[in-house]
């Protein structure tokens, strides 16, 4: 039986280029008339981050925060650092960033804090020089959820499998992978990990080619556990090319618009994720509280409209419990990302 949270919850390797909230009166106040500016800096251009922008702009409209988005081009950690520095020099009130590399962005965030700019991150728990980091899932639980979904798709907890992450410096992907692999070793000794992990899940073409290489090296491989939204489609393309659709389990963290065709033809087994619009809304909500001098309200008892109270708040990291599991049966219920 599928162990789930609530169900809110080709021949070429091709590169693929909110919750409703009530007006806020207990927290940030629209009637204060204070207007702030915030710059959103995602990792790269994608429907996932377009969806996060929906939540950012919704909260911005409700809370008198003008949101602009700056997308790194090229999509590199160095370019993202430049955008943070630019936003700092332009005097933005808040910088909302999804770090490509947690370490390389530290100095830029420190520079923003030195100028009293509020810094909020996502997908980077305990980020150094972030005032707050917002997560919609508990990392250990999310890693376990991915592994359990792979076991469901496999039909039996045995055989070889591979793990993808975006990079070795992505704290979220690697934390999820650590939790998943640890669970497998403890609970499913029949599962055998191929290699350690492959840092290819933010490039569809590279994910596809790596899957082709692994299929050639390990023809008996049974599963791929992919942390990173572009890796799943890459593996799915490889399975299509090799005529292995439905024969190998693939669990990804790909959004519904991109995952849909792969889920429907069986080249992707399931996708575990969250709604990035919820993240965007929470980031702006926290930024507004901080800008209003209400940091004392930011804690485990903070009740954000539409999201409720966090699962936990430790250090600078606020964690909610809002996972979604996409399958071919329910993917059409989700749209916009």
* Residue 14, pLDDT score: 43
Q: Which CATH number fits domain 30-137+275-322: 1.10.3720.10, 3.40.50.300, 3.20.20.60, 3.40.50.2300?
A: 3.40.50.2300
pLDDT for 7 beyond 80: no
- Rounded mean pLDDT, 211-238: 97
Given pLDDT bands bounded at 50, 70 and 90, which one contains residue 46? Answer: confident
Please give the sequence-ordered ranges of beta strands (E in DSSP) within 18-148, or none if there are none. Answer: 36-41, 65-69, 94-97, 118-122, 132-135
Other Cβ atoms within 10 Å of 282 Cβ, number = 30
Let me know if 271 is exposed, middle or buried by CB neighbors in 10 A (0-12, 13-18, 19+).
buried
* Residue 336, pLDDT score: 73
Q: Are 221 and 146 in contact (CB under 8 A)?
A: no
* CA 275, chain centre distance (Å): 9
Q: What is the pLDDT of residues 93-149, one digit of tens each?
A: 999 999 989 999 999 999 999 999 999 999 898 999 999 999 999 999 999 999 999
* Residue 28, pLDDT score: 63
Lookup result for tokens 């911005």: 60
Q: Are strands 94-97 and 312-314 parallel, antiparallel or unpaired?
A: unpaired
pTM for the model stands at 0.78
Can you tell me the distance from the alpha carbon of 253 to that of 330, in angstroms, rounded to the nearest whole number?
15
User: How far apart, in Å, are the Cα atoms of 191 and each of 158, 184, 210, 216, 249?
Assistant: 4, 7, 20, 19, 13
Can you tell me the distance from the alpha carbon of 234 to that of 228, in angstroms, rounded to the nearest whole number?
11
139-273: CATH topology:
Rossmann fold (3.40.50)
What does 46-67 look like in DSSP terms, one character per residue?
A: -HHHHHHHHHHHHHHHHHTEEE
% of the chain with per-residue pLDDT over 70: 90
* Residue 29, pLDDT score: 52
pLDDT for 265 beyond 50: yes
Can you tell me the distance from the alpha carbon of 69 to that of 44, in angstroms, rounded to the nearest whole number?
11
* Residue 145, pLDDT score: 97
The reply to whether 139-273 shares the fold of 30-137+275-322 is yes
Q: Which long-range contacts (C-beta less than 8 Å, at least 24 apart) are formed by 215-219?
A: 215/242, 215/244, 218/160, 218/194
* Residue 335, pLDDT score: 74
- Rounded mean pLDDT, 168-189: 94
Which residues contact residue 25 at a Cβ distance below 8 angstroms, ignoring those fewer than 6 apart? none
Nearest CA among 180, 98, 169, 82 for reference residue 133 = 98
Given pLDDT bands bounded at 50, 70 and 90, which one contains residue 27? Answer: low
Q: Are 255 and 263 in contact (CB under 8 A)?
A: no
pLDDT for 52 beyond 90: yes
% of the chain with per-residue pLDDT over 90: 84
Domain boundaries, the chain: 30-137+275-322, 139-273
Please, what is the average pLDDT of the chain?
Answer: 91
Given pLDDT bands bounded at 50, 70 and 90, which one contains residue 169? Answer: confident
């Amino acid at each position: 039986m599928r162990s789930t949270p609530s169900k809110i919850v080709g021949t070429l390797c091709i590169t693929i280029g909110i919750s409703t909230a009530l007006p806020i009166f207990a927290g940030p106040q629209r009637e204060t008339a204070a207007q702030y500016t915030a710059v959103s800096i995602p990792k790269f251009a994608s429907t996932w981050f377009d969806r996060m922008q929906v939540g950012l702009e919704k909260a911005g409209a409700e809370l008198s925060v003008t949101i602009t988005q700056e997308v790194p081009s090229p999509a590199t950690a160095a370019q993202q650092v430049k955008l943070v520095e630019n936003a700092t020099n332009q005097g933005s009130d808040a910088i909302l960033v999804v770090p490509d590399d947690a370490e390389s962005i530290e100095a830029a965030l420190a520079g923003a804090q030195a100028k009293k700019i509020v810094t909020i991150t996502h997908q980077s728990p305990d980020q150094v020089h972030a005032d707050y980091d917002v997560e919609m899932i508990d990392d250990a639980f999310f890693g376990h959820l991915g592994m359990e979904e792979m076991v469901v798709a496999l039909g039996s907890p045995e055989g070889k499998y591979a793990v993808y992450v975006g990079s070795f410096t992505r704290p979220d992907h690697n934390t999820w992978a650590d939790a998943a692999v640890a669970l497998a070793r403890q609970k499913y000794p029949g599962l055998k990990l191929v290699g350690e992990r492959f840092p290819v899940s933010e490039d569809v073409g590279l994910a596809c080619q790596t899957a082709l290489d692994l299929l050639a090296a390990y023809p008996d491989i049974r599963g791929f556990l992919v942390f990173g939204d572009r890796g799943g489609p890459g593996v799915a393309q490889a399975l299509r090319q090799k005529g292995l659709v439905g024969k190998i389990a693939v669990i990804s963290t790909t959004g519904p618009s991109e995952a849909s065709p792969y889920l429907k033809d069986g080249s992707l087994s399931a996708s575990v994720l969250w709604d990035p619009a919820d993240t965007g809304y929470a980031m702006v909500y926290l930024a507004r509280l901080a800008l209003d001098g209400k940091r004392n309200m930011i804690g485990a008892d903070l009740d954000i409209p539409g999201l409720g109270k966090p699962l936990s708040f430790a250090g600078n990291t606020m964690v909610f419990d809002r996972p979604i599991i996409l399958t071919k049966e329910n993917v059409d219920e989700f749209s916009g990302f």
